Amino acid sequence: MGVTRPYLVKTSNGESKVLNLADCVNIHRTPAVRDAILKGEYNRIVSDDGHMITVEKPFFYTDFDRNHLFLVKPRYERHDWLDASAQLERMVKRVPLNIMTADKKMRVIFGMGELREKLVADDASIDDRMVELLKVLIIYDHPFLIKQPRLRLYLEKVSKQSYDFIACYDHHPRNYRVGMPRKVVDELVTNRAEVEKWIKQRHKKENIFDLKKDHWVNFWRWSPVPSYLNSLKGYAKQIREGKTISVTDKGFKDMLKYLPRGSQLPAWAKKDLYELLQFAKKKKLKKLQDQLFELRFDRQLDDDWYLNDDPNDIDTLWKLMKDLPDTNVEGNTSLDELNLARGGGGWYEPDTGDIYIGSEELFDKERFEDVVRHEVGHAVHEANDKKINPWLKKQFGWMTFDMDDKQIDAWVDLMGGYKTNDPQVIKELRKFLKAALGPGSEWGPPKYPVIPRNHAWWNPDFGPRIAFENSGNDWHERNDKWYRYKDKAFFCNFYYQQFMVVNSSTLDLINNGMPDKYAATSPFEFFAELYALFYDMDDPMRKNIPKEVKDWLNTNVGKATSSSQPKKPKHGIRRTNRAMPGRKR
């Protein structure tokens, strides 16, 4: 279960495609997504010329069974890891996570390759922090790997004999497989205390074993590049806001020194650099103009790590490598060049055609931070369905009916029955109703069933027919049109392949009191939305939840506790003018 929304994307050769992409994946509900990630197939499309293109976009990854809470972002946003970590903290804050054990793993992850690697490490029961240290050893044993900029090093698979890594590059087609013998890894894992000591001594600021409110575990943080890209972004922002910046500060000078150059700059950074150039022109800073110009058009650097510089003010890989603990790594790792057509591996190989949907382009930014609560709501519902389902029926009138005869009859009875005693006609009406539900997993009705002109189906007072006809595409969005009978509203859920009913008063609550009409999709989504709102203490719409509902949730699900955070308006503008309806499951 997750939240998917339609995104319009453009491939590098100019094709436009609408893709349904997830804002949230819940592995407990859709384990197949995890398998697809491991196969390197998730969020991947094949372009017209046969390339495998990875679509990178922000999404939230939850796996309540394995205690994983991951915020995944496109890999070009990795300079933003501190902001992303803060966002992750906000997302899980005040979510009653008592469905998970205390040692939940929170991570910010940049790119599908990093995500896949976390899953591979988890399956092999190795700590992801140890995996990053293995990479340091690999580079130590094969230093030529970092002579080409934009190295990606991923744990690909773990076998009985070895830990296999893939080395590939953002702007270069070369691939290598590096195998590290198991005994080397086992040795390190056994001596973990010593390894942690080594990290602590060499990297006081960037000790991955002791990260506070910082959830990026990746060896890239030992390159100065992400952090200086982040300063560039900060300076450009200040200039855009009309503020002045000090270009004589050490921080500014260091940034000029360590920023990647020329074609190594990400597209957004080129724009930000242009901003700085305009500033230098305006302030008539001739020398700075020259420096910025050189930066923009310079040749590539030899490496992203400044291994020849050893600057003392930044944490680099150099510091780690200069003082490696005793290991058997030297000369023991194997290295093979892979001859693959692009996109040939079962991992996420970077391709220049990859598509990025940045955090700024998220479909509904405010809503994105609420997705965790929604998914936790589903998990809580599943764990307590014996208690929650009868309450949803009693309090809100939610009932669902499957496609078997008995259940169809029960749904029809709520609308006054078939209004005929002819068993043959009733049999046919059931058949038409089954056809009307369609094949399932659709967000709208199937082709209208072929029905003889004089059939009882067409009787003006045959409610089930009207209920079907009025459900329509994205039925939750148009619940005001649903067929009403005696204070109840009837509709077909074409996704679940079920007939449904709910109290009209519940629809009033959804339409006038809750953040999203999506709550009308099904009782299941209703509970998740209600849960998300109930535990969002800052949401002004929370007051719309009736007192008896709040009381029940407090008693039976868990007490919502107030935070000391100042109240900020939410859900202000986002409900209107939605270009495309949201898709969640």
Query: Which DSSP helix (H) or strand (E) runs through 23?
Result: strand 16-26
- By C-beta, is 23 or 349 nearer to Zn ion? 23
Neighbours of 34 (CB within 10 A): 21
Structure tokens at 197: 């000591």
As measured in angstroms, the least distance from the Cβ of 541 to Zn ion is 18
As measured in angstroms, the least distance from the Cβ of 498 to Zn ion is 15
CA atoms within 13 A on the CB side of 256: 17
Spatial contact of 556 and 575, defined as CB atoms under 8 Å apart? no
| Nearest Cα to Cα of residue 154 among 173, 180, 135 | 135
| Nearest Cα to Cα of residue 3 among 536, 496, 471, 529 | 529
Q: Give residue for tokens 């944490």.
A: 315
134/132 Cα distance (integer angstroms): 5
In degrees, to the nearest 5, what angle opens at C-alpha 408 toward C-alphas 403 and 412? 150
As measured in angstroms, the least distance from the Cβ of 521 to Zn ion is 8
- By C-beta, is 163 or 518 nearer to Zn ion? 518
| Footprint on this chain of Zn ion (rule: CB under 5 A) | 525, 528, 584
- By C-beta, is 502 or 528 nearer to Zn ion? 528
As measured in angstroms, the least distance from the Cβ of 494 to Zn ion is 16
Structure tokens at 392: 């949803």
Structure tokens at 7: 């995104």
In degrees, to the nearest 5, what angle opens at C-alpha 50 toward C-alphas 46 and 54? 35
- By C-beta, is 283 or 578 nearer to Zn ion? 578
Spatial contact of 415 and 429, defined as CB atoms under 8 Å apart? no
Give one DSSP letter per residue of 101-124, joined into a string. -S--EEEEEESHHHHHHHHHHHHT
As measured in angstroms, the least distance from the Cβ of 99 to Zn ion is 15
- By C-beta, is 377 or 463 nearer to Zn ion? 377
577/570 Cα distance (integer angstroms): 16
- By C-beta, is 59 or 235 nearer to Zn ion? 59
Structure tokens at 168: 């590939």
As measured in angstroms, the least distance from the Cβ of 440 to Zn ion is 16
Q: CA–CA distance from 374 to each of 94, 275, 345, 479, 528 (Å)?
A: 13, 40, 35, 21, 5
As measured in angstroms, the least distance from the Cβ of 100 to Zn ion is 18
- By C-beta, is 507 or 528 nearer to Zn ion? 528
As measured in angstroms, the least distance from the Cβ of 1 to Zn ion is 5
- By C-beta, is 69 or 276 nearer to Zn ion? 69
293/307 Cα distance (integer angstroms): 25
- By C-beta, is 1 or 329 nearer to Zn ion? 1
Neighbours of 528 (CB within 10 A): 26
As measured in angstroms, the least distance from the Cβ of 378 to Zn ion is 6
- By C-beta, is 303 or 525 nearer to Zn ion? 525
Is residue 268 helix, strand or coil?
helix
444/436 Cα distance (integer angstroms): 10
As measured in angstroms, the least distance from the Cβ of 528 to Zn ion is 5
- By C-beta, is 185 or 528 nearer to Zn ion? 528
473/152 Cα distance (integer angstroms): 43
As measured in angstroms, the least distance from the Cβ of 518 to Zn ion is 8
